[in-house]
Amino acid sequence: MVSADIDESAPVYGAHMAGAGDTAAHGRKPLISLDGVSRHYEIGGGIVKALDAIDLEVGAGEFVVILGASGSGKTTLLNVIGALDVPTAGRIEIGGNEVTGASRRELFALRRHEIGFIFQSFNLFPGLTALENVEFGADVAGRGDARAAAGRVLEQVGLADRARHFPHELSGGEQQRVAIARALAAGNPIVLADEPTGELDFETGVQILELLHDVTHTSGTAVLVVTHNREIARVADRIVELSSGRIVSDEANVPAAMSDLRW
């Protein structure tokens, strides 16, 4: 079991599976690759297998919905991919680089330069305007042209005319669009969204997923979206279903039109 470690230079992943270069014999490496990834918790003498031997590959420009009931391991899966949590076993590669054995400082750099996060409750800064919230996302990732990038991305999500509005002046769907813009403005190759439609009505939720779907294809970003809503998942072009910490299906999907969805 790996313990939390505050020595920033110390490896936080077990280095037990070191050995790079053994997967590149043919073809390009996927952007995200998980090989036998587990996250177990020891609780009161028992073991909770939040993730149990997950194998998953996601390429650039893929829009993947992670579907599963509450407690199935969806958040844990996003957290280990996003370097917010450390697996207890297995191996993760991001952009062809092995993350196994990375120090806390290296994980920090990974979050900053590879990942964008979108949350269920938007998590915008209430005292910043829409534009400033998005600019913050670009700035944290170290983009020199943060203000210009923010303006462009806000336009991309259809909110150019709301740039000077504060979060409390926006609807839930608009706030989530700002949060999407903030994640995209970082210009990072991976966007992770944990139940981004959880606080929205069904129709707005579908619009948010359709927006994420569109930006995935135009930007080449890999987007992983978690939901427990099977109808909303039908908007995806790939659905990975989790149950009790295991992948029980991983299928291509023909995205359903809004009018075909039932709520």
Write out the residues near ligand ADP by the rule CB under 6 A. 41, 43, 48, 50, 68, 70-76
Closer by beta carbon to ligand ADP, 70 or else 259: 70
Q: Return d(Cα 150, Cα 16) in angstroms, integer.
A: 41
- In angstroms, what is the minimal distance from the CB of 131 to ligand ADP? 32
Q: Which does 176 bind (CB under 5 to 8 A by kind): ligand ADP, Mg ion, none?
A: none
- Return the closest-CA partner of residue 81 out of 188, 211, 170, 220: 188
**Which tokens sit at 173?**
């769907």
- Phi and psi at residue 202, in whole multiples of 5°? -55, -45
Comparing CA positions, the residue from 65, 64, 61 lying closest to residue 217 is 61
Give yes or no for residue 76 binding Mg ion (CB under 5 A): no
Taking the least distance from each CB to ligand ADP, the nearer of 67 and 124 is 67
Binding partner at 76 among Mg ion, ligand ADP, none, C-beta below 5 to 8 Å by kind: ligand ADP
**Alpha helix (H) residue ranges in the chain:** 74-81, 104-114, 130-140, 146-156, 172-185, 202-219, 230-233
Identity of the residue, 115 or 146, whose beta carbon is nearer to ligand ADP in the bound complex: 115
Question: Which residue, 74 or 234, is less far from Mg ion as judged by CB?
Answer: 74
Question: Given the complex with ligand ADP, which of 50 and 180 has the nearer CB atom?
Answer: 50
Span of 70-78, 99-107, 177-185, 203-211 interacting with Mg ion by CB under 5 A? 70-78
Number of other CB atoms surrounding residue 224 within 10 Å = 26
Which partner in ligand ADP, Mg ion, none is near 252 (CB below 5 to 8 A by kind)?
none
Partner that binds at residue 50, options ligand ADP, Mg ion, none, CB closer than 5 to 8 Å by kind: ligand ADP
Residue choice 33, 38, 72, 75 for contact with Mg ion (CB under 5 A)? 75
Q: How far is the CB of 255 from ligand ADP (least distance, A)?
A: 23
Q: What's the full length of the chain, in residues?
A: 263
Choices 66-74, 121-129, 147-155, 250-258 (CB under 5 A): range interacting with Mg ion: 66-74
User: How far, in Å, CA of 54 to CA of 43, rounded?
Assistant: 21
Q: In the numeric block, which tokens belong to residue 122?
A: 């938007």
For the chain, the farthest-separated pair of C-alpha atoms sits apart, in whole angstroms, at 56
In this structure, the strands spanning 222-227 and 238-243 are: unpaired
Q: How far is the CB of 41 from ligand ADP (least distance, A)?
A: 4
Instruction: Indicate the residue among 67 and 215 with the shorter CB distance to Mg ion.
Output: 67
Looking at the Cβ atoms of 174 and 195, the one nearer to Mg ion is 195
Name the nearest CA neighbour of 79 among 31, 134, 34: 34
HSE-up of residue 36 (Cα within 13 Å, Cβ side): 6
In the complex, what is the shortest distance from the CB of residue 163 to ligand ADP, in angstroms, rounded to a whole number?
A: 33
Neighbouring CB atoms inside 10 A of 259's CB total 5
Instruction: Using CB under 5 A, list all residues that contact Mg ion.
Output: 74-75
